[in-house]
Structure 1
Amino acid sequence: MFSFIAHPYPKSESFKEIFVSSLGAGAAVYLFLIIFQPFGTENFQHPYKFVLLFPYCIIFGTAFLMANLITSRFSNWNIGSELLKITFILCTGSILSYFYNSLFLSHVKLDIVNYFYMFLYTLAIGIPISIIYILSRYIYLKTIHEKKAHDISQHLPVSPPAQRQNLLKISAQNTELVMNKKDFLCVQSMENYCTFYFLENNSLKKALIRISLTNVLQQIETSSVKKCHRSYIVNLGKVKKLKGNAQGYKLVLPEIDFEIPVSRSFIPSVIPQLQQQHS
């Protein structure tokens, strides 16, 4: 059970994706209410009943939007984190729904027992919708990323293509690192330091320099040397294999013993370039 909860889960990164998914969440709640009419809604008679139910769409859509905006900056997101976020959405939605129902629909006195019933109603609606959302989104992203990674990997050469003898120069304070572009593999950032991975006489070398990843990118970025993650810059010309999962993609370079992640926000700039240079 713990291993399932700790499994990585792709979180929404762009505002567009967050906004669209929030609209979808609100619409799903509204459709559930007007189609199934649960919890006595069927017996609620009013000429504008469906109009009066629409604010629940706004309430849960807003709660979904708030939760995703708050958690968009978090890292190491997993299924457990997603479940906590969903719990926050349901609690927030139940509170707002209770006030709306009490003040504008039923006109009953605010009471903790009545809110408890509203919370149960919210769980009854929210849990099945949340389960469908989490599983369908995970399966969809995993499927499309794995398929695309497989298609691209089939066209990657066994030996990386020859690169011109361009020099990459990295300057930081009193330190300067110079290497051929064809020998450069990647840069890994950790706090205020960057570790450079490169080849020297066909042997893997590492150099640790006090410099920000942004500063490094400004000095060495080319059409094939790209930032692919908030902590990585990679030479796409050295990529031998591409792997896909629900969170995005991972780049495999034969010279290093770890896989380089591609954040979903960098997919539009990295994956097409990888396809182009190996097509």
Structure 2
Amino acid sequence: MKIKAYIKQAYPFYYEDYKKVFILLFGVAIISFLFSYLFEPFDVNQAEQKISSLWIVIVHAFMPIPIAIAYLIILNKTVKDTSQWTIGKEFLQLALLLFLIGLSSFFLRDFIYTNPDNWSFRYLWEEIRNTFLVGSLILMIILPLNLERLLNSNFNFLKQIGTPSSIIMSSNSVHIVTPIPGEQFEINMETFLFAKVESNYIEIVYSSVTGFGKLLKRMTLKEFEEQLNPFPYVFKVHRSYLVNLQTIKSISGNAQGYVLRLKNFSEATIPVSRSKIQEFNRVFTNCNKK
């Protein structure tokens, strides 16, 4: 049960910034090269080598970079809601990536070694095993340590802002213009809870006498946010969420950032991304002071 709960913990999705991903992969390649070149952890038969040992180490260290970039680009396009990313999903995707790298190392054997058994199951297993032996440092050590670091960091931020207090509500009705003629609508800021991206639409959630209601509108979150600029308590907490800070009931933390629970809405929680935490602290604290 503890393992199941652990793998379901929220974890940041780091793969949207390709520049940072490339820098990270290049750094890992350098470390892998130095480790393999200096310590020679794997036995090799030099008589079978078609190229020098130095070039073999370089190939194995840097060959994973284009494979990883291609894989992570595909992953980035397929993950629709990064707020649902967990440490378990991170483990699984990195394990699959290591498997692909090991498989690629196996296919390169004919270019590196003159061994008639290059295509045997023995060498397939050997290449995949060796890849996992190197990659296990990331899977078994770095990921758990990074999760702990993020949790501690976000809990410390939470201590700075304390618990939500009552914020003076503003009763204002706003006329919202959409890109679709004839679909303009009114939103009462006293009842507005949050808005979220829903495919090519945004879903606007508001409180009502019966609980809460929803509107689905054909516009972007940015277009909606710009029209609510006069209201300082409306804040974009995540690339997919815009929240009325007046309606926050409680704030907790996880490795991705903060998690908000709203008054009159117990159906789900709202994520605050790590990149927004400091700005959220400032805006939320200012709202509490008023």
State the shift of 1:207 in Å.
4.4
Partner of residue 131 from structure 1, selected from 122, 134, 140: 140
Aligned residue identity for 2:228? I
Aligned counterparts of 2:260 and 2:28: Cα–Cα separation in 1: 33
State the shift of 1:239 in Å.
3.6
Q: Say which is worse superposed, 130-139 or 234-243, in terms of deviation.
A: 234-243
What are the equivalent positions in structure 2 for 1:102-181 lying under 5 Å apart? Answer: 102-104=110-112, 106-109=113-116, 110-112=118-120, 113-152=122-161, 154=162, 158-160=165-167, 162=168, 167-171=173-177, 173-174=182-183, 176-179=185-188, 181=189
Counterpart position of 1:37: 40
Whether the aligned pair in 2 keeps the contact of 1:18 and 1:69 (CA below 8 Å) is no
Counterpart position of 1:86: 94
Structure 1 pair 209/119, CA: closer, same or farther in 2 (3 Å)? closer
For residues 151-192 of structure 1, the C-alpha deviation after alignment (integer angstroms, 9 at most, x for no partner) is 22x2x55211x366654223453552242x455332245454
What are the equivalent positions in structure 2 for 1:185-264 lying under 5 Å apart? Answer: 185-191=193-199, 192=201, 194-198=203-207, 205-214=212-221, 215-222=223-230, 223-239=232-248, 241-257=250-266, 258-264=268-274
What TM-score, normalized to structure 1?
A: 0.76
Counterpart position of 2:59: 55
Whether the aligned pair in 2 keeps the contact of 1:186 and 1:198 (CA below 8 Å) is no
Counterpart position of 2:25: 22
Structure 1 pair 24/10, CA: closer, same or farther in 2 (3 Å)? same
Structure 1 pair 26/149, CA: closer, same or farther in 2 (3 Å)? farther
Q: What is the DSSP-based 3-state SS (H/G/I as helix, E as strand, rest coil) of the residue aligned with 1:90? A: helix
Structure 1 pair 51/121, CA: closer, same or farther in 2 (3 Å)? same
Structure 1 pair 190/96, CA: closer, same or farther in 2 (3 Å)? closer
Aligned residue identity for 1:262? V
> How many pairs align?
270
State the shift of 1:246 in Å.
0.9
Whether the aligned pair in 2 keeps the contact of 1:25 and 1:61 (CA below 8 Å) is no
Whether the aligned pair in 1 keeps the contact of 2:10 and 2:254 (CA below 8 Å) is no
Structure 1 pair 38/276, CA: closer, same or farther in 2 (3 Å)? farther
Aligned residue identity for 2:147? Y
Aligned counterparts of 1:55 and 1:234: Cα–Cα separation in 2: 49
State the shift of 1:121 in Å.
1.7
Counterpart position of 1:64: 68
Q: Say which is worse superposed, 264-273 or 240-249, in terms of deviation.
A: 264-273
List gaps (5 residues or longer) in structure 2. none
Q: What is the DSSP-based 3-state SS (H/G/I as helix, E as strand, rest coil) of the residue aligned with 2:63? A: helix
Counterpart position of 1:11: 13
Structure 1 pair 256/174, CA: closer, same or farther in 2 (3 Å)? same
Q: What is the DSSP-based 3-state SS (H/G/I as helix, E as strand, rest coil) of the residue aligned with 1:249? A: strand
